[in-house]
Amino acid sequence: MNEKKRLLIATDNFLPRWDGIARFLSEIIPRLHDKYEITVVAPDYGSYEDPNIKIVRIPLSKIFRVGDFPVPKFKQQFIASLVRQSDLVFTQTIGPVGTAAIRAAKQQKKPVAAFIHSIEWELVPKALQNPILKKYAQIAAKKVARSLYNRCSLLIVPSSSTEELFLWNNIRTKSTIVYLGVDTTKFVPLPPEQKVEIRKELGFHAEDIIIGYHGRISHEKDLITILRAFTRVQLKYPQTKLLIVGDGVEKIKRQLASRNNVWLVGSKNNPVPYLQIMDIYCLSSLTETTCLSMLEAMSCGLPAVSTEVGFIRNYIRNNVNGLFFEKQNPYHLARQVERLIADPTLRFKLGEMARRTVVEKFSWDTTAQGIDEALNSIGKR
């Protein structure tokens, strides 16, 4: 019997702090632990235990933050020692943890695969507010990303559009496409009578029209556009509520909380019941790759109104399984939402097609198989 290979997963976010990366790892790790001896090195966001893996925590900086992220300290030598004890390195980010792991793996000639969850030179400047910092942050982020990703053995990208974007920006490392997945047995639509019951349990009324969002509250998600659209929609449909499931930047949270009929419920380990009681899902992001939260909403049968960003433009077809609106245009978003409120048949049709899209194309088992094959391909070198 072959010994398991020692896999080091280096990430700048992990449980118990939930976001798309943490949810991705929470689904992938259980599907890989039979084949690998897994160590996760991640920032110290609190206590979380998994008997199948070893978790090594990096202390947080008391000084630096990027958007809503407390930044972990840069521990190059410590992470290099973990790389030395591993056969393969699998990074999720190019923050302090991911950067140190990639550099150490390159120095030690260890195979390293990077999963591309975001486009850093788009994400970093949009997470900042200072216009001067935005300009220089984009230049610096692109330079850093190019340098680090070109040191990797393999890039695992979530779409062909991401692959093409990297090539255009002179990132020449070999890449393979692996789509994200959704647990479609968990993220499911509810029958109307159950939906009413859960609404009551969570404090909503049967007749409410709930517009929702699930994810990080950050500048690049542009939730203020959703808030402005919601304010406009309320003038015509006063029974609407805005439900925000997530946590993040305090300034944005205060703006959201200042309006009537906005429900901020924080981050949830299990967002399913909150998605199931929504009527319409809105995503106003300025940048995305795949957007796991969108796929989860669609799996719950929600008609989605989204900006046309990243891979979303490939799996949402306008007027077929969702609607698009122009970035940072609350008037256009309001018009699209009002179309869905006024036409329940359209709402049902788009939601039904959204669910079908996810069931047919996005599976965690397929994702894990793709990642395992990718890791095997570099582990044999």
pLDDT band at 381 (very low <50, low <70, confident <90, very high): low
Whether residue 102 sits in one domain with residue 9: yes
| Claim to verify: residue 61 and residue 124 sit in the same structural domain | yes
Residues 342 and 367 in one domain: no
Q: Check whether residue 253 and residue 290 sit in a common domain.
A: yes
Tell me how far apart the alpha carbons of residues 92 and 42 are, in angstroms, rounded to a whole number: 10
Regarding whether 215 and 122 lie in a shared domain, the answer is no
The token pair at 215 is 């994810």
One domain, residues 152 and 239: no
CA atoms within 13 A on the CB side of 69: 22
Q: Using only C-alpha atoms, what is the Rg of the chain? A: 21
User: Which pTM does this prediction carry?
Assistant: 0.90
CA dihedral 381, 10, 25, 121 (to 10 degrees): -100
Taking the mean position of all CA atoms in its chain, how far away is CA 274? Answer: 17
Domain count across the chain: 2
User: Does residue 367 share a domain with residue 349?
Assistant: no
| 187: in domain | no
CATH number, domain with residue 294: 3.40.50.2000
Span 185-215, pLDDT tens digits: 999 999 999 999 999 999 999 999 999 999 9
Do both 196 and 172 map to the same domain?
Answer: no
Specify whether 12 is located in the same domain as 51.
Answer: yes
Q: Are residues 345 and 375 in the same domain?
A: no
Residues 97 and 196 in one domain: no
Q: For residue 2, name the pLDDT band (cuts at 50, 70, 90).
A: low
The reply to whether 47 and 129 lie within a common domain is yes
pLDDT in tens, 4-62: 999 999 999 999 998 889 999 999 999 999 999 999 999 999 999 899 899 999 999 88
Q: Say whether pLDDT at 157 is over 80.
A: yes
Which range marks the domain in which residue 73 is found? 5-181+363-379
